[in-house]
Amino acid sequence: MKTKIKTMILACSCLLAAGLTVTQNAVAQEGNAKPNIVLINMDNFGYGELGCYGGGILRGGATPRIDKLATEGTRLLNYNVEAQCTPSRAALMTGRYAVRTGNGSVPLETADYGLTQWEYTMPEMLGDVGYTTAMFGKWHLGQAEGRYPTNQGFDEWYGIPNSTDESLWPAQEMFQKYRKLAEETGKNPMIKEEHIYSARKGSPAKVVKVYDLPARREIDREITDHAKDFMTRQAKADKPFFLYLPYTQTHMPILPSKEFEGKSGNGQWGDVLMQIDAYTGELLDKVDGLGIADNTIFIFTSDNGGECIPGYQGWSGPWSGSYFTGKEGSLRVPFIVRWPGKVPAGKVSNEIVHQFDLFATVANIAGGKVPTDRIIDSKDMTDFFLGKQEESGRDGFVVYVGNDIHGVKWHNFKMMFMEFEGGLGSGKLNVFPLPHFYDLYSDPKEEYPVTKATGGSLWQRWGCGPILTEHQASLAAEPPIKPGTLDPYVPAKQNK
């Protein structure tokens, strides 16, 4: 099947010239001190959850603080991410398609996953230009020494290395049986409880406690408290900081803190929405109270579209699909950015931005460097974010689900080669004999594909095709790192 898919993709693409090269130079923001950066990255938080995106009270929990944040900054309607947790975080941290780093899919077969030391991450880039960096929350880019956040550029970390569904394991009798067997025999060493860790750069990570259901309830409270303490310390030190907050909500199991349990009166989802809004409000209040609001870039976004597991399902607003699909409900998530006096207040844009574009943008603003010794997919969005131009500069990108190319998005059109009927690959994978084309203005839910029978719209392939062929040429020029690659790693072309 893979050969057939590759043949079909190539047949539908236009031939372009050789590989992609990126030689951007970081440019510091003239006349300003380096801004602080607070980046909230929710987990499986759908496009339609917030009030300012059509949710809020419609979903059982008001979100007034985040809705107000949207009026104070710019809100994007077409901010796109990778379709799974690990690839999404890899793309954000490196400015590269996750497949390039060996993290195109969530780790199911190898325990040795995550970013190699060769990758140059956002916190490393910011640390190199004087920032203090901290991460509190879910990493999902490595679960062993050498691949923790404090091995990848963060000065401090409190949180979990993997995923929140692992909090369900400790309460299972069968899991405990096989966990003990693994301990006794030395076999199946990854059958073990996940833990919350605390770490500082240069020292081994320390186990804090088992990440079980009671810990799952309160970890986002703890993350918020760590964040406020970090900002207070950095404000006193008068040093720019990068605070990355990958919260664990709303990844299943969706359980509110005891503080918010029952608060909405509309069930756990409403409670959790109120919790998310309140914690964001606390962070905004801390920024204001420390007197650093005018020089702090504050971002609220998500790693993936909404959950698809019955009982925990999220909401994608006007779009269809959940994460683990190539549909808009997987790709589009909320994105709000505030930087008083610099980012336009109250602006709403439908321009395409991809999460890996934050790398080059942050580098420009902070005076960091974008590597030129590897392919970088990130585009500098500084002028777009600052309101100096209306266009983002990105006209599309390749749609991956795991390590497979599912299609291409170009302006408001999509050319799709395959699609899952349900999220998490739970439905049938439909591989189309000819690509399906969608116009997202007239068909936002991707319900009425244009195919050969209605070929009047097949001109769209000449917009989508070049994006794909350019990307494929870049993969040939710089082969992706293989999943499970161990350190030390040096690309073959640099190892000659």
Per-residue pLDDT tens digits for 439-458: 999 999 999 988 765 667 78
Instruction: Look at residue 43 and tell me if it is in a domain.
Output: yes
As for how many domains the chain has, the answer is: 1
Handedness of CA 21, 26, 29, 31 (dihedral sign): negative
Instruction: Look at residue 187 and tell me if it is in a domain.
Output: no
Structural contact between residues 251 and 164, judged by C-beta atoms closer than 8 angstroms: yes
What CATH number did the domain enclosing 232 receive? 3.40.720.10
At 39-86, the pLDDT tens digits run 999 999 999 999 999 999 999 999 999 999 999 999 999 999 999 999
- Whole-number Cα distances in Å, 318 to 54, 321, 440, 441, 443: 9, 10, 11, 11, 10
Residue 14 banded pLDDT, cuts 50, 70, 90:
very low
Total Cβ atoms within 10 A of residue 61: 28
* Alpha carbons 282 and 1: distance in angstroms, whole number: 51
Total Cβ atoms within 10 A of residue 166: 18
Least confident interval from 70-79, 269-278, 350-359, 441-450 = 441-450
What are the beta bridge partners of residue 400? Answer: 405
Instruction: Look at residue 246 and tell me if it is in a domain.
Output: yes
CB burial string 462-484: b at 16+ within 10 A, e below:
ebbbbbbbbbbbbbeebebbebe
Instruction: Look at residue 132 and tell me if it is in a domain.
Output: yes
* Alpha carbons 332 and 162: distance in angstroms, whole number: 23
At 329-347, the pLDDT tens digits run 999 999 999 999 999 999 9
Total Cβ atoms within 10 A of residue 19: 15
Structure tokens at 101: 């780093």
* Reported pTM: 0.93
Structural contact between residues 184 and 125, judged by C-beta atoms closer than 8 angstroms: no
Q: Are strands 36-42 and 241-245 parallel, antiparallel or unpaired?
A: parallel
State which amino acid sits at residue 119.
E
Structure tokens at 279: 């914690």
At 223-240, the pLDDT tens digits run 999 999 999 999 999 999
* Residue count of the chain: 496
Instruction: Look at residue 306 and tell me if it is in a domain.
Output: yes
Instruction: Look at residue 210 and tell me if it is in a domain.
Output: yes
Instruction: Look at residue 109 and tell me if it is in a domain.
Output: yes
Domain that holds residue 359: 36-163+194-385
Instruction: Look at residue 239 and tell me if it is in a domain.
Output: yes
Measuring CA to CA, which residue among 324, 463, 460 is closest to residue 399?
324
Output the pLDDT for position 18.
31
pLDDT exceeds 60 at position 206 = yes
